[in-house]
Amino acid sequence: MQFNSFSFIFVFLPVTLAGYLLLRKTRFANAFIFIASIFFYASSALWYLLPLFATALLDFIVGQYIADSKDDRFRSHMLWLSVVANLALLSVFKYTTWLTGDLSRGLAVYGIAFSPITLALPPAISFYTFQSMSYTIDIYRREFKPYRSVIDYLSFVSFFPHLVAGPIMRARDLLPQLARIRDLPSASKVSVALFMILFGLFQKTVLADNFGLIVESIQRLIPVNGLTPGLGLVFTYAFAFQIYCDFAAYTTIARGVARLFGVELIRNFLTPYFSSNPSEFWSRWHISLSSWLRDYLYIPLGGSRDGRLMTLRNLMITMLLGGLWHGAGVFFILWGLWHGLLLVLYRLLPIDSIVVRHLGRLGKLLSIVIFFHLTCIGWIFFRATPEQFMPIVRSIMELPGAVASIVIAYEPYLGWSLIIHPWTLVTILVGMVKGFVSANWTFSIYCWGLLLFALPLWITDYLGWRKQGEFPDLFEAMSWPVRTVAILVLLYGIIFFARREANEFIYFAF
């Protein structure tokens, strides 16, 4: 079931909420949430439940054994069982198709026929395996005591607001909230939660999906006529905004919905494109995954304890595996390596602080712009197929030439225009723009579209960034007339501009 569907918003959510409120003070409340979550998750395919239950029940049992045992060897064996089983399950579903596909192509070179194995990927498997693994690891580390109620545990793993695309919640953060009888959320919390849901729906249906339309349209041009100068850049920007709006929207809706049930989910995004360096970016982008990787991979690998070289190695390994977590394919690995490289280079040369020291606020702005573009390079790896990669890069490289050709064409008139009359200059500049638009029509159209949909994103993110939060956080501080306007703008934005073709959240595929 999708957050951006009528059946979720007008049936599932109200019914589940009503049921929860009725049962809130009884021991059936979590059982009810669990059943609702299962319905939410398996409404499109029942078999999705098999890997979910396999992971969850194994980790529940292993967690009990680890907690009850004083034998360190046994505890360690049980932990390995959990980690290996989870990663094996994840790998089978996630990488079999890719690896056997490559193997098949490789063997075909030698004349050996081998049919690749195609496995459907159950949604959310990357999220719940990581979440479930953190449960056993925390128990093993004695940082968390297991809960004896299997229903409480299952409702933690399957809690529907965050099940499909995160945030990846740790048991120690979410289980205690679910296991107790929670107070009714206050009126102000409910009001903010509703605004978060509305804003998330706007981000998804109006912004992310329309950026997606631009991305898909440009991708379709590649095999037909190739890309004209600059279209690759529009593609890159559009995808950067699409993936952010799409994923942030899911989290925002998830957090809003969870609040209605009296549960606080952690923040997963914090205006990441205002980051001025890679370290800051990863503390603002997919925060629950980056902190998971830090706590359960980077630090166990040694973190920054064993000298600079080992630190750099650990960073590269962590980011490489982070890339692989996102998807099966060489380009996902390259994306992870790219971010690993950025982190390593930043450790060696913290360029933004140097720029800020010399240029002040302008330096900060410059750092943000530069780092945004470095992030965008990573997104090309993330979205483009190997066949699309070079046409996109080529199109980006050709943009300066296209601009220069127009400037050169008008250059003889520019000097004279100043002598004749200043207005002549304006006319010539307008002519240059028209000339450019005429010569680069497709590029100009998509630029316009990009600007159109990016404007609300820039405004809302800038307002959030100024207050060290996200846009929905500002809702409480607004006066009620401003709130009313904000609600109406978002609502009518959705009514008029939401993309009508059904679009799943991108992170459902991870």
Partner 1 sequence: MSSFISHFKAWVAAALIVVFAEGALYALYQPNPIDRTNFLQFAFSRAEPAQRLFTFHKIRSFEHANPTIVQSGDSSGFYGIDPRIVMTHLPSDVTYLNMSCCANLGFRGYYNILEFMAQRNPSLRYMVLYITTYTMPRPELWDADGANLWGPPGLEVFGKAIYTEFMGPWTILHLPSLGFRRQVTNFVYYLGPLVFNVGSQIKGVRRSVGEAADQDESDPPVDILRSATNSPEYSDFLRMYRKTRGWMPESDQRGGVYAVECDIAMPRFFDFKTMSYKTYLQEVLDGFADLASRYKATLVIAFQPVACFPGAKNAEARTIVEQFKRSHPDVEIPFPLIETWPADMFSVPAHVRHEYADRVGDRLGKAMAAIVARRGY
Catalytic residue among 77, 162, 286, 326: 326
The helix-helix angle for 150-158 and 49-68 (nearest 10°) equals: 130
Residue partners of 466: CB distance under 8 A and separation at least 6: none
Does position 49 bind partner 1 by CB under 8 A? no
Min. distance of Cβ 62 from partner 1 in angstroms?
37
CA dihedral 209, 214, 216, 219 (to 10 degrees): -160
Does position 457 bind partner 1 by CB under 8 A? no
Distance CA 140, CA 152 (A): 20
List 309, 349, 419, 502, residue binding partner 1 (CB under 8 A): 502
From 83-91, 381-389, 449-457, 462-470, span contacting partner 1 (CB under 8 A): 449-457
Q: Look at residues 246, 267, 244 and name the one whose alpha carbon lies nearest to residue 255.
A: 267
Q: Residue 161, exposed/middle/buried by CB under 10 A (0-12, 13-18, 19+)? A: buried
Q: Residue 148, exposed/middle/buried by CB under 10 A (0-12, 13-18, 19+)? A: exposed
Distance CA 510, CA 308 (A): 32
Q: Which is nearer to partner 1, 102 or 216 (CB)?
A: 216
Q: Which is nearer to partner 1, 197 or 312 (CB)?
A: 197
From 146-154, 325-333, 391-399, 478-486, span contacting partner 1 (CB under 8 A): 478-486
Is there a contact between 29 and 181 (Cβ–Cβ < 8 Å)?
yes
Distance CA 357, CA 338 (A): 26
Does position 487 bind partner 1 by CB under 8 A? yes
Is there a contact between 469 and 270 (Cβ–Cβ < 8 Å)?
yes
Q: Which is nearer to partner 1, 110 or 480 (CB)?
A: 480
Does position 496 bind partner 1 by CB under 8 A? yes
Hey, which residues between 385 and 424 contact partner 1 (CB under 8 A)? none
List 39, 484, 504, 509, residue binding partner 1 (CB under 8 A): 484
Residue 307 main-chain phi, psi, to 5 deg: 95, 170
List 45, 452, 459, 509, residue binding partner 1 (CB under 8 A): 452
Distance CA 86, CA 81 (A): 8
From 138-146, 172-180, 345-353, 481-489, span contacting partner 1 (CB under 8 A): 481-489
Distance CA 16, CA 35 (A): 10
List 2, 16, 126, 210, residue binding partner 1 (CB under 8 A): 210
Q: Look at residues 353, 210, 364, 203 and name the one whose alpha carbon lies nearest to residue 268.
A: 203
Distance CA 466, CA 487 (A): 21
The verdict on whether 358 is a catalytic residue reads no
Is there a contact between 135 and 144 (Cβ–Cβ < 8 Å)?
yes
Does position 437 bind partner 1 by CB under 8 A? yes
Would you say how long the chain is, in residues?
510
Report the helix count and the strand count for the chain, using DSSP H and E.
22, 0
List 18, 181, 407, 495, residue binding partner 1 (CB under 8 A): 495
Min. distance of Cβ 262 from partner 1 in angstroms?
16
Distance CA 209, CA 215 (A): 10
Q: Which is nearer to partner 1, 115 or 225 (CB)?
A: 225
From 66-74, 107-115, 382-390, 489-497, span contacting partner 1 (CB under 8 A): 489-497
List 69, 91, 100, 191, residue binding partner 1 (CB under 8 A): 191
The CB density around residue 67, as the number of other CB atoms within 10 Å, is 18
Q: How many residues lie near partner 1 (CB under 8 A)?
A: 44
Q: Which is nearer to partner 1, 225 or 468 (CB)?
A: 225
Q: Which is nearer to partner 1, 10 or 114 (CB)?
A: 10
Does position 448 bind partner 1 by CB under 8 A? yes
Min. distance of Cβ 338 from partner 1 in angstroms?
29
List 190, 345, 370, 425, residue binding partner 1 (CB under 8 A): 190
Interface residues with partner 1 (CB under 8 A)?
Answer: 6, 10, 186-188, 190-191, 194, 210, 213-214, 216-217, 220-221, 224-225, 437-438, 441-442, 445-446, 448-449, 452-453, 478, 480-481, 483-484, 486-488, 491-492, 495-497, 499-502
Active site residues: 326
